[in-house]
Chains A and B, each alone.
Chain A
Amino acid sequence: MRIAQRSALPGFAPSFAVTLVWLSLIVLIPLAALALRPWELGVLGVWRSVTEPRVVAALRLSFGTAALAAAINVPIGLLIAWVMVRYRFYGRNLADSLIDMPLALPTAVAGISLTALFAPKGWIGALLVPLGIKVAYTPLGILVALIFVGLPFVVRTLEPIIMDLPLEAEEVAATLGARRAQIVARIVLPALLPALLAGFGAALARGVGEYGSVIFIAGNMPMISEIAPLLIVIRLEQLDYAGAAALGLVMLLASFVILLLLNLLQRRMIVHA
């Protein structure tokens, strides 16, 4: 830190102070409260509270579905981002705004529309019933909702990176005899890998915390289609604040570790990119 030194960019002290105060008020203090609250149950009580079978099932569902949804969003999002950046077509601006819709739409609205579509009598649901596929009120429904809300994160993370991809690298690869598929596999994808990971992380984080769009389509059956955020709400309604905080803390730690790992992995890739 260089607080006392004269700098060509003055204003370090006031801006640092504002940053620190704001970060404390908005992020650090609430998180600290979350981290402190559960322990009134005692260590054993916290352990019991977060290892209940219903809790474990909910956590597994939340993280598993979010990871799967993010993994599905990565190739689809890559394709969409590629098309949006590399091609000019009629209706491109419209398509571009559509991508942001999942961000702008109130999540409850998204959840209700998806439920209506995928319910056994809905437009899409009715087509799937004869195939024996049930989407609404099952974990599959959760997956659909999380794919929906996660997509813009992948697309928007990738777009600027694709835009900056040097076209010359692809051209030079072509003059060296590479086929298009080889260029994609050896030149384009390696260059995009860090961004793909970042997009995956962003979609995953969003999916783990997603609540509004999921609870309508999930059916919320304990042990089967009940997500962890919903379980927190249920505990709050039962006035089990410490139990809710314990579950919250577990989610916080798990998300933190996952994002940290993704970040480290990404950093290792960027070193030479």
Chain B
Amino acid sequence: MSVELRDLRKAFGHVTALDDVSLTIAPGEFLALLGPSGSGKTTLLRVLAGLEFPDSGEVVIDNRSMHGVPARQRGVGFVFQHYALFRHMTVARNIAFGINVRPRHRRPKAREIRARVQSLLDLMEIGHLGQRYPEQISGGQRQRVALARALAIEPKLLLLDEPFGALDAKVRKNLRIWLRMLHDKMGLTSIFVTHDQTEAMEMADRIAVLRSGRIEEVGPPAKLYAEPASIFVHEFLGESVRFSGTVADGRMRVDALPDVGTATCSPSGPAVALIRPHEIGLLPGPGPARCERQETLGPLRRTRISVLDQAFDVLTPDGMWTPAVGQTCRLDLTRARVYPAADDRPG
């Protein structure tokens, strides 16, 4: 089922939560809404579910406008960060809730409901927990129950708000892979909110990066990582080392490194060059850069380099030339991406 957001705006008092958000999600897609806290990603998810109403703009799900359609009629599965399980109901009754509240003529027989709940429990790999209460199971299991409860209404669109936020690192990693497989198996369209870029990169087909209520950039994770369109996205996705300088005649000159230049098509004027730690080249010879420290991390070597008042790590494959501690070297920044300094608004 396709989802379309058109010019959504939403403000809480003086705070703008969504500022002209437009986005199209294809059927079967797994989309991550990524952004720092307060960027509006949860609000966007709640607007989609009908738990919040936009001041203007439109949500279209499956070619049907959701204007005036209440949450209970949208058939959208929603998983809250803290699961919001019904504490006074067993796991099985939690999962059956969405079926039990249907009008009688649309409600299956009790035996069918039981069978459906059991098959969902089995799908979630928690088949034996049906008669437990939410407080008697672990965090990861609660997450699965919340998911099963949302899936019980057979939603075509699944919304997840920080689905792994409350779990410890190991459980989180397993659940990620499992959830992605579940999504593919069930043919769902899913949108999930996260502030964890690794999570977004690992799971999503596409990532929408949000910043102060606006969509900064949308694209496949690899493209966003390799060719981010803005300073914000560059620094938000993965590690970045930043150099400021000036562009003149299609060449960027870094202030701290007068002899290092990078070709660019960025307009002339003050500029910022961003580069990932593994993209920086280290070249032998006297230069302004000095090696401070060095460690080998399995196949990679991490070299701490200082230039004037700036210090950063450089990652090189084991076996490449690197300066010894205390030695100076030259830097190769040809792989840096250059952005006009004017783009550098605080996020």
* Chain A contacts to B: CB under 8 angstroms: 166, 168-169, 171-179, 182, 186-187, 190-191, 272-273
Interface size class of B (residues with CB under 8 A): 20 to 34
Shortest C-beta distance, B270 to chain A (Å), equals 47
A177-B49 contact in complex given A169-B84, A172-B80, C-beta closer than 8 Å = no
B88 touches A (CB below 8 Å): yes
Shortest C-beta distance, A180 to chain B (Å), equals 9
Cα-based distance from A191 to B87 in the complex (angstroms): 8
Q: Which of A175, A187, A191 is close to B78, meaning CB atoms less than 8 Å apart? A: A175
Question: Binary interface profile of B, 122-150, with partner A (CB < 8 Å = 1, else 0)?
Answer: 00000000000101000000000000011
A272-B135 contact in complex given A174-B70, A178-B97, A190-B88, C-beta closer than 8 Å = yes
A176-B97 contact in complex given A166-B84, A169-B86, A272-B135, C-beta closer than 8 Å = yes
Cα-based distance from A182 to B100 in the complex (angstroms): 10
Chain A contacts for B133, CB-based, 8 A: 272
Cα-based distance from A10 to B152 in the complex (angstroms): 53
A179-B72 contact in complex given A174-B51, A191-B87, A273-B88, C-beta closer than 8 Å = yes
B218 touches A (CB below 8 Å): no
B329 touches A (CB below 8 Å): no
Asked if B86 and A174 sit within 8 Å, CB to CB, the answer is no
Q: Which of A177, A190, A272 is close to B72, meaning CB atoms less than 8 Å apart? A: A177
Chain A contacts for B82, CB-based, 8 A: 168
Shortest C-beta distance, B32 to chain A (Å), equals 20
Asked if A175 and B97 sit within 8 Å, CB to CB, the answer is no
Asked if B135 and A186 sit within 8 Å, CB to CB, the answer is no
A173, A175, A176 pick with most chain B CB within 10 angstroms: A175
B153 touches A (CB below 8 Å): yes
Chain A contacts for B75, CB-based, 8 A: 177
Asked if B153 and A176 sit within 8 Å, CB to CB, the answer is yes
Asked if A179 and B84 sit within 8 Å, CB to CB, the answer is no
User: Which A-chain residue is minimally distant from B81 (CB atoms)?
Assistant: A168
List CB contacts (< 8 Å) of B54-95 with chain A. 70-78, 80, 82, 84-88
Tell me the dominant secondary structure on chain A's binding face.
helix
A178-B84 contact in complex given A272-B133, A272-B135, C-beta closer than 8 Å = no
Asked if B72 and A178 sit within 8 Å, CB to CB, the answer is yes
User: Which B-chain residue is minimally distant from A193 (CB atoms)?
Assistant: B88
Asked if B84 and A177 sit within 8 Å, CB to CB, the answer is no
Chain B contacts for A173, CB-based, 8 A: 86, 97, 101
B223 touches A (CB below 8 Å): no
Cα-based distance from A185 to B78 in the complex (angstroms): 21
Cα-based distance from A23 to B196 in the complex (angstroms): 56
Cα-based distance from A176 to B71 in the complex (angstroms): 8
Chain B contacts for A182, CB-based, 8 A: 101
Asked if B88 and A272 sit within 8 Å, CB to CB, the answer is yes
Cα-based distance from A177 to B78 in the complex (angstroms): 11
Shortest C-beta distance, B144 to chain A (Å), equals 15
B35 touches A (CB below 8 Å): no
Asked if A177 and B102 sit within 8 Å, CB to CB, the answer is yes
User: Which B-chain residue is minimally distant from A194 (CB atoms)?
Assistant: B88
Chain A contacts for B152, CB-based, 8 A: 176
Chain B contacts for A176, CB-based, 8 A: 72, 97-98, 101, 149-150, 152-153
Asked if A177 and B101 sit within 8 Å, CB to CB, the answer is yes
Could you show 24 A-B contacts with beta carbons less than 8 Å apart? A169-B85, A169-B87, A171-B51, A172-B78, A172-B149, A174-B50, A175-B49, A175-B51, A175-B74, A175-B76, A175-B150, A176-B149, A176-B150, A176-B152, A176-B153, A177-B73, A177-B75, A178-B97, A179-B101, A182-B101, A187-B86, A191-B87, A272-B135, A273-B87
User: Which A-chain residue is minimally distant from B135 (CB atoms)?
Assistant: A272
Nearest 9 CB-CB pairings of A with B: A176-B98, A168-B84, A175-B78, A178-B101, A174-B71, A172-B84, A272-B133, A190-B88, A177-B72
List CB contacts (< 8 Å) of B151-175 with chain A. 152-153
Cα-based distance from A168 to B74 in the complex (angstroms): 17
Shortest C-beta distance, B54 to chain A (Å), equals 17
Chain B contacts for A187, CB-based, 8 A: 86
Asked if A168 and B80 sit within 8 Å, CB to CB, the answer is yes
Shortest C-beta distance, B44 to chain A (Å), equals 15
Cα-based distance from A187 to B97 in the complex (angstroms): 10
A174, A176, A177, A182 pick with most chain B CB within 10 angstroms: A176
Asked if B101 and A186 sit within 8 Å, CB to CB, the answer is yes
Cα-based distance from A53 to B230 in the complex (angstroms): 90
User: Which A-chain residue is minimally distant from B82 (CB atoms)?
Assistant: A168
Chain B contacts for A168, CB-based, 8 A: 80, 82, 84
Shortest C-beta distance, A172 to chain B (Å), equals 4
Cα-based distance from A186 to B149 in the complex (angstroms): 15
Chain B contacts for A179, CB-based, 8 A: 72, 101
Chain A contacts for B78, CB-based, 8 A: 171-172, 175
Cα-based distance from A81 to B36 in the complex (angstroms): 37
User: Which B-chain residue is minimally distant from A166 (CB atoms)?
Assistant: B84
Shortest C-beta distance, B106 to chain A (Å), equals 10
Cα-based distance from A83 to B82 in the complex (angstroms): 26
Shortest C-beta distance, A165 to chain B (Å), equals 11
Chain A contacts for B72, CB-based, 8 A: 174-179
Chain B contacts for A171, CB-based, 8 A: 51, 71, 78, 80, 84
